[in-house]
Amino acid sequence: MSKKFFKLIFVLVLMCLFFIKPASAVIRESKIPPNILLYKSIQTWRDKSKNPWQLIFYKEIRGNNKPTINLRLVGFPELFEFAHPQPLTIKIREDLTVKVPDIFASDKEAFSPSMGQYDFNPIIERLETDSFWLLQLPLKDDESSTIKVPYFIIEEWTKIISM
């Protein structure tokens, strides 16, 4: 009986290895009339203090214009407020830190105080996906929040850039 049991387990493991595909990224594509194409990735991730943040990375193509590539960060309402217009600081590796420009010129332009949006077009050539990134969020009242973004989310973002 134990031999049959181990053979069954062995066959099940082999089936899992050969027939179950790994999970792939969920990149959403939207067509917005008249002439807008949108690719986006939405992730919920926690900062170092375990506060939840929504990370929305998207590429918007309007007709024949140059695509816009942005990262929108949304925190829990009334818990955090972004300082506008402050850049997002990204530590890509120990010797490479970049600043990503804020889309909103003032707090009044933001849809919500708990939302920041950043223009990735100027830094696309400097992006690396071989390790995690540290996003240092520019918040009001000298508060700080850091989100550690793993490589598989960054790889998903680079797929969006190349679409």
* Residue 45 included in any domain: yes
Q: What is the predicted pLDDT for the residue at 34?
A: 85
Residues of the chain predicted below pLDDT 50: 14, 16-17, 20-24
Structure tokens at 145: 């929040």
Q: What is the predicted pLDDT for the residue at 157?
A: 93
* Residue 2 included in any domain: no
* Residue 1 included in any domain: no
Q: What is the predicted pLDDT for the residue at 153?
A: 92
Q: What is the predicted pLDDT for the residue at 128?
A: 81
Q: What is the predicted pLDDT for the residue at 24?
A: 46
What is the torsional sign of CA 160, 119, 137, 139? negative
Read off φ and ψ for residue 3, nearest 5 degrees. -65, -45
Q: What is the predicted pLDDT for the residue at 104?
A: 86
CB distance 73 to 55 below 8 Å:
yes
Structural domain of residue 35, as residue ranges?
Answer: 25-162
Q: What is the predicted pLDDT for the residue at 21?
A: 43
Tell me, yes or no, if the pTM score tops 0.85: no
Q: What is the predicted pLDDT for the residue at 146?
A: 96
Residue 53 burial (10 A CB sphere; 0-12, 13-18, 19+): buried
* Residue 134 included in any domain: yes
Alpha-carbon distance 63 to 36, whole Å?
A: 6
* Residue 19 included in any domain: no
Q: What is the predicted pLDDT for the residue at 25?
A: 52
At 102-125, the pLDDT tens digits run 998 766 776 788 999 999 999 888
Q: How many domains does the chain have?
A: 1
At 131-152, the pLDDT tens digits run 899 999 999 988 889 999 999 9
* Residue 15 included in any domain: no
* Residue 4 included in any domain: no
| Residue 32: strand pairing partners | 36
* Residue 17 included in any domain: no
